[in-house]
A and B are shown apart, each in its own frame.
Chain A
Amino acid sequence: MTTHTLSVLVENKPGVLAHVSGLFSRRAFNISSLSVGPTSDPIVSRMTIVVDGASTPVDQVHKQLEKLVRVLKVTELVEDEAIERELALIKVRVNPDLRAQLVDLATSFRANVVDLGSDTIVLEAVCSPGRLDALLELLEAHGTCELVRTGLIAISRGSETITDDMKPALVAVGA
């Protein structure tokens, strides 16, 4: 799957998420994940949207997003020039005999044990998408019984920022 990662700054106003999700259904865009959170400016939120490029014209996603009135900025992050992370909480059923082995595996992925039950263990992993998939595959052998992922978030490497080439009016609102 060829995925594309879009970083989208939006006004932090009611209805914005509905406008974005409405656009995806209206245009039949396939997205793999979407995560939203506040930025350092309380009136601006940031979305990270992962688009499946095989089934969806990324150029159209980009342009149609820019047409939404509450969308301030859309940037595509290039894989090699961006840091991409996803947080997952993974509940694994584990035989007490194998617990040490599982913790070793988690450690090698820099995942933390955040809950220890009599026959389950909850891991917290923060990884790049490929690494997370690898961890999940290995854990599958033990028996993952519950999984929650935040969806990808990403930021560009180096000194550039998403607000660099925004119009002065937009910078004025503090995006």
Chain B
Amino acid sequence: MEVTGAQALVRSLECQGTDVVFGLPGGAILPAYDPLRSSSLRHVLVRHEQGAGHAAEGYAWATGRVGVCLVTSGPGATNLVTALADAYMDSVPIVAITGQVPTAMIGTDAFQESDITGITGPITKHNELVTDVERIPAAIAEAFHIAATGRPGPVLVDLPKDILQSQFTWSWPPELDLPGYKVPGEPDAGLIEQATRLLHQARKPVLYVGGGVIKSDSHAPLLELAELTQAPVVTTLMARGAFPDSHPLALGMPGMHGVYAAVTALQECDLIVALGARFDDRVTGKLAAFAPNAKVVHADIDPAEIGKNRRPDVAIVGDLRTVLADLAAAMRAEVAANGPTDTAEWVAITDGWRRSYPLRYTQDVGGPLKPQHVVERLSALTGGDAVVVAGVGQHQMHASQHYAFTKPRSWINSGGLGTMGFAVPAAMGAQIGRPGELVVAIDGDGCFQMTAQELATCAIEGLPIKVLIFNNGFLGMVRQWQELFYEERYSEVHLGTTIPDYVKLAEAYGCVGLRCEQADDVDAVLEKALAISDVPTVVDFRTHDAEGVFPMVPVGRSNDDIVLGPEFTAAEQQAAARREVLAR
């Protein structure tokens, strides 16, 4: 059957099982938008291409399936760059399809021409400029395969207009032509055995859980391994929800704004088992001073992560789903043969740290509204059942710290790239991927204004996302750094709380707009927002502008230098530095 390249593109997406495409048409991609009308694909018309990219990411985070976005050449494609870089840093499987000027005009500085494969080479897992119409089915199938397998990531397929308009004979499935593409096989049994032995011998082990556990859906064997080993678990910013925060072995988030117990457990442990984590600088602090006495078992699907920052004693390359299942099975046998592990003393110590130096803030009655209070109330009112989406900055850290996560894929944020403006479009994608579930974006006022136009898309699509703006009138995290490291010389961080009027803005976009200025009103406003099920809701929380994020490890310093913050006395801070457990 003769089809055009455009028809082949749409059919290929259908054959891949795509149900939704986030996009915005333009000249070069026009041919693709014609067959789209009569296809089974749901197209969500965004207001800016960056929104399409982040929506595809949010969809992928929330569902584990490949997110798809479709844009035109030139500025349409370059507007995707931030989302692609974000997806690359956080290993999010998305396929981006970009129109391109006709092949004969490539290189001539034609209207809306940009070298998008050249531009996105370093921020995609792979990309391809298709120059032969017959390659379209294979190019799309390969893109999905590469995006979803191994370490996931974004793949871009660039389609010149004349290729979309050419005809060829349709056939499916295509043969994948990827001789150089390697996905790790089964993990080495000998290494699993070595790791198990180290885990059994360790007196002070920590499971350092990264985003790979969520991406591989291996939270169940993780729970089993943790309980068999009786090892405390820390979940990184990318892994919140991989292990329930309510579990007695859960220490919470490590890193720059991590909980004292999680940060210090890593510093003091004798064994780190890193699972789909990459020893990021925000976790390790000063690398040379990180976990000085720990042996390291590092399991990851990406061989290049092994030894990149910290040299492991045992390196296991493989899919964590298999690695964790194998580790749990081996540990079960080890415990059966040689008795339980001897970690009770260590668990008691880490538990003591957790009690002695918890996340602490003060919500005075009638005093300024604290962002932590809003997150805690949201957590309580939703029972940890919401899909929480965050942008980047103080609100993100407060959300990650204070929401009690109970399950995987309930936390979506921009981790590696730190993309302001991520939350609203990502929440849109998450809501489309998980219809009927509660999706709540926690956003800062700075972040919100970068991509707020997607509220229009959400309203028209009838997506009942909640957007909780923590409006402190500042680029809060930058302000915090200027406060701490530039002696309170605030430079270009004040946004003001009243322009725009977020309630009016929400209403103008067809959303419900609410405002909350008092701690006493938080529950009522949240309950009102959570009850709305047909349109998006925006809540303008007027939060305290001087509230910082603590604990904090100053950038470039050792995790030993963790600062508990103004809520702790000097005596407590000194006791923490000595690793003391305080009496109840």
Which residues of A pack against B, CB within 8 Å?
Answer: 10-11, 14-15, 18-19, 22-23, 25-26, 59-60, 63-64, 66-73, 169-170, 172-173, 175
Contacts and interface: CB of A to CB of B under 8 A. Distances in A.
Contacts of B129: 14-15
A60 B304 CA distance: 6
A69 B182 CA distance: 8
Query: What's the interface size class on B, roughly?
Result: 20 to 34
| Interface of chain B: mostly helix, strand, loop or mixed | mixed
Interface stretch (B115-123, B322-330, B343-351): B115-123
B122 A25 contact: yes
B489 interface: no
B303 A69 contact: no
30 contacts: A11-B180, A14-B129, A15-B129, A18-B121, A19-B121, A22-B118, A22-B121, A22-B122, A23-B121, A23-B122, A26-B122, A59-B307, A63-B303, A63-B304, A64-B304, A66-B182, A66-B304, A67-B302, A67-B304, A68-B126, A69-B126, A69-B146, A69-B178, A69-B180, A69-B181, A70-B180, A71-B180, A72-B179, A72-B180, A73-B180
Contacts of A68: 126, 180
A170 B179 CA distance: 6
A69 B303 CA distance: 14
Contacts of A175: 179
B35 to A, nearest CB: 27
Interface string B148-187: 0000000000000000000000000000001111100000
B117 A15 contact: yes
Contacts of A60: 304, 308
Contacts of B117: 15, 18
A15 B304 contact: no
A68 B118 CA distance: 14
B131 to A, nearest CB: 7
Contacts of A10: 180
- Top 8 A-B residue pairs of the complex, sorted by shortest distance between their CB atoms: A26-B122, A22-B121, A63-B304, A72-B180, A69-B126, A22-B122, A173-B179, A69-B181
A175 B180 CA distance: 11
Nearest to A65: B304
Given A64-B304, A66-B303, A69-B146, A18 B118 contact: yes
Interface of B: 117-118, 121-123, 125-129, 131, 146, 178-182, 302-304, 307-308
Contacts, number: 52
B134 to A, nearest CB: 15
A19 B128 CA distance: 10
| Interface of chain A: mostly helix, strand, loop or mixed | helix
A69 B124 CA distance: 11
Q: Which of B121, B178, B307 has the most CB of A within 10 A?
A: B121
A13 B251 CA distance: 49
Nearest to A15: B117
A72 B126 CA distance: 14
Nearest to A67: B304
Contacts of A22: 118, 121-122
Q: Which of B117, B180, B181, B302 has the most CB of A within 10 A?
A: B180
A175 B307 CA distance: 30
Contacts of B179: 11, 72, 169-170, 172-173, 175
Nearest to A73: B180
B539 to A, nearest CB: 40
A19 B180 CA distance: 13
A66 to B, nearest CB: 7
Contacts of A170: 179-180
A160 B146 CA distance: 32
